[in-house]
Chains A and B, each alone.
Chain A
Amino acid sequence: MITLLYFAWVRERIGLPKETVETTATTVKELVEELRARDERYAVAFSDLASLRVAIDQDLVDFDAPLTGAKEVAFFPPMTGG
C-alpha cells in the first residue's frame, strides 16, 4: 500500500488530496501510467510530466525513481515559495 498525496492544481484536477493504492509499479513513471489509465481526471492531471514534480517519502526525486520501500508519493506543480 502506498499513500498518494496531491497538491495545488494537481489536487484540484484529480479532485482529492490523498488516497491509498495497491500497485505493482516499480517506478514513479509506471505508477503514473497506472493512474492515467484509471480515469480521465488522472489523465488530465498527468498529461505533462515536465510541468510536475514528485517526492518519495518527502524527498524530491525523478520520475524514473524506483518505488522500492516507498510509503508516501506526492505529486505537485513546481514550487512557488518565498
Chain B
Amino acid sequence: MQISVQSDPFDFGALAQEFADGHTHMGAVVTFTGIVRDDDLGGLDVMEIEHYPGMTERAITKFAAYAKDRWDLGDVLVIHRHGALKPGEMIMMVATAARHRVNAFEAAEYLMDYLKSRAPFWKKEYVNGEPRWVNAKPEDEDALSRWD
C-alpha cells in the first residue's frame, strides 16, 4: 500500500509501470488520474488545494485499507497533491491491483468517491484573477451511499 500527500508533481507513467510490475497473482490493474480542468474558457489561472495535514493521510490510509480488504486487492496506491496547480496538471492518481477487473474497477471508484467527499481537501480557483472556493456537489455526497 502506497499513500502520498505531496505538493510535488508525480510521474504517472513511471508509477503506473512500477505498480503493475511483478504481480503474478493479480490479473487486473486499474489506474485513474485526475487533472485540473478549466471550465472557464481559459480563465482559470490556478487552482489552490488546501488540506488538513495529518488527517488527510489518516483518512486516505483508512479508505485504502478498507478497499484492500473489501475487494481483496493485491496492492493499492493513492497520491494526492496540494498547493498551487495549473490547468492540465495532474492532481491525483489511484491504482488498484486485483485478481479480476471488476474488483479493480470498483475499488478505484470507491477510492475516488471517498477522496472527493471525505478526504480533507479544499479547492480554490482563481478565475481571471478572482478567487472562489469550489463548492461540494450534492451528487458527490449521494455517490457515497452506493458503497454502504
- A contacts, CB < 8 Å to B: 5, 7-9, 55, 58, 60, 74, 76-82
Contact = CB atoms under 8 A, between A and B. Distances in A.
B3 interface: no
Contact of A76 (B112, B116, B122, B134): B122
Given A8-B122, A8-B124, A58-B58, A81 B117 contact: yes
A7 B58 CA distance: 17
B133 interface: yes
B52 A80 contact: no
A81 B80 contact: yes
Nearest to B132: A9
16 contacts: A8-B50, A55-B55, A58-B59, A74-B52, A76-B52, A77-B122, A77-B133, A77-B135, A78-B135, A79-B121, A79-B122, A81-B92, A81-B119, A81-B120, A81-B121, A82-B121
Contacts of B122: 7-8, 76-77, 79-80
B69 interface: no
Interface residues of B, number: 26
Contacts of A82: 34, 91-92, 112, 115-116, 119, 121
B89 to A, nearest CB: 14
Contacts of A60: 118
Nearest to A53: B120
B123 interface: yes
B54 interface: yes
Contacts of A80: 116, 121-123, 134-136
Given A74-B120, A78-B117, 9 more contacts: A7-B120, A8-B122, A58-B52, A58-B54, A78-B135, A78-B136, A79-B118, A80-B134, A82-B112
Contacts of B54: 58
Contacts of A76: 52, 120, 122
A5 B134 contact: no
Nearest to B80: A81
B141 interface: yes
Most buried by A among B55, B123, B134: B55
A57 B96 CA distance: 29
